[in-house]
């Protein structure tokens, strides 16, 4: 026990700045937040911590004053803004980057492309077999995100609309990474993830004939795109302001594009 304690004290460098930046929220914005955090800490010596608990939790954290920056992959909802105002917090949005929601299938799935209506149909339970949308005879395994997810909210807004809900049979996964690994191991699955999470283990299907890419998202021809935000309580000052300026600096833009997102 003593040896353990000694080891701990040895490795513990007492950091001078107790006043770090605390970021909570979206798993989609996670890679950006984490890389910015590392960059910022290295450059300015301000410790930054990042938790990825989902956009909804990020908003709640900001409203409760438990974080400095809420990373969100959707706009703040009116109820959330109302709740924040009640607590005397004025949420201010700062765009971190642009992101496309990629509709992903297993690489073995031969389906050439899907229309927005077909995707909505799959998620609302109207199509249950890949044959109905131009694929092989195989039951569709539908993967969605949990209700706390900003990507889920954006997907609903952009694709299925609020009128008909996503079928409850759709399987929920807790993060972009989890959706990706589920789809990459299930030949008949369909899911949606942020662009930054795309790799060769899944295939992004063209939507309405357009493949998600930097060019198609920036020009707006790929329809399933949204902004990623950093929300703060009131106009930021000091190191938080400095942090939020990162997305528009040259290095910040470079980081965003290296991560597979699109800088504004």
13 binds other proteins (CB under 8 A): yes
Cβ neighbours around 258 below 10 Å, total: 11
Query: x/- site string to other proteins, residues 68 to 107, per CB under 8 A?
Result: x-------------------------------------xx
Q: What is the 3-state secondary structure (H, E, C) of the chain?
A: CHHHHHHHHHHCCCCCCCCCEEEEECCCCHHHHHHHHHHHHHHHCCCEEEEECCHHHHHHHHHCCCCCEEEECCCCCHHHHHHHHHCCCCEEEEEEEEEEEEEEECCCCCCCCECHHHHHHHHHCCCCEHHHHCCCCCECEEEEECCCCHHHHHHHHHHHCCCCCCCCCCEEECCHHHHHHHHHHCCCEEEEEEHHHCCCCCEECCECCECCCHHHHHHCCCCCEEEEEEEEECCCCHHHHHHHCHHHCHHHHHHHHHCCCECC
Is residue 2 within the footprint of other proteins (CB under 8 A)?
Answer: no
Which tokens sit at 156? 């609903």
Residue 181 near other proteins by CB under 8 A: yes
178 counts as binding other proteins under rule CB under 8 A: yes
Q: How far is the CB of 49 from other proteins (least distance, A)?
A: 4
For other proteins, which residue of 6, 44, 65, 241 counts as binding (CB under 8 A)?
65
Q: How many residues bind other proteins (CB under 8 A)?
A: 69
Establish if 136 lies at the interface with other proteins (CB under 8 A).
yes
Q: Which is nearer to other proteins, 28 or 124 (CB)?
A: 28
Instruction: Decide: is 258 part of the binding site for other proteins (CB under 8 A).
Output: yes
> Nearer to other proteins by C-beta: 203 or 226?
203
Among 51, 129, 157, 213, binds other proteins (CB under 8 A): 51
Closer CB to other proteins, 124 or 140, in the complex: 140
Asked if 41 is part of the footprint of other proteins (rule: CB under 8 A), the reply reads yes
Residue 25 engages other proteins in binding (rule: CB under 8 A): no
Is 125:169 a contact under the CB 8 Å cutoff? yes
Sites of contact with other proteins (CB under 8 A): 1, 4, 8-9, 11-15, 18, 20, 22, 24, 27, 30-31, 33-35, 37-39, 41, 47-53, 57, 61, 64-68, 106-112, 131, 134-138, 174-178, 181, 187-188, 196-197, 199-201, 203, 251, 254-255, 258-259
């Amino acid at each position: 026990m003593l040896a353990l304690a000694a080891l701990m004290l040895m490795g513990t460098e007492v950091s001078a700045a107790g006043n770090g930046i605390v970021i909570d929220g979206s798993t989609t914005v996670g890679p950006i937040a984490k890389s910015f955090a590392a960059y910022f800490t290295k450059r300015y010596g301000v410790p930054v911590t990042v938790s990825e608990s989902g956009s909804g939790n990020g908003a709640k954290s900001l409203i409760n004053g438990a974080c400095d920056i809420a990373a969100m992959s959707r706009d703040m909802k009116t109820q959330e803004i109302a709740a924040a105002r009640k607590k005397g917090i004025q949420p201010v949005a700062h765009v971190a980057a642009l992101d496309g929601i990629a509709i992903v299938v297993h690489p073995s799935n031969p389906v050439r492309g899907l229309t927005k209506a077909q995707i909505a149909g799959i998620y609302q339970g109207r199509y249950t077999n890949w044959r109905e949308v131009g694929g092989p005879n195989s039951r569709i395994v539908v993967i969605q995100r949990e209700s706390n997810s900003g990507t889920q909210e954006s997907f609903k807004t952009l694709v299925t609309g609020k009128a008909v809900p996503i079928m409850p049979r759709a399987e929920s996964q807790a993060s972009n990474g989890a959706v990706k690994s589920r789809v990459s191991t299930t030949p008949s699955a369909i899911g949606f993830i942020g662009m930054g999470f795309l790799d060769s283990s899944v295939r992004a299907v063209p939507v309405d004939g357009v493949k998600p890419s930097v060019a198609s998202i920036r020009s707006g021809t790929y329809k399933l795109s949204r902004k990623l935000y950093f929300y703060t309580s009131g106009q930021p000052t000091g190191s938080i302001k400095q942090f939020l300026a990162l997305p528009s600096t040259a290095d910040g833009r470079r980081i965003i594009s290296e991560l597979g997102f699109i800088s504004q």
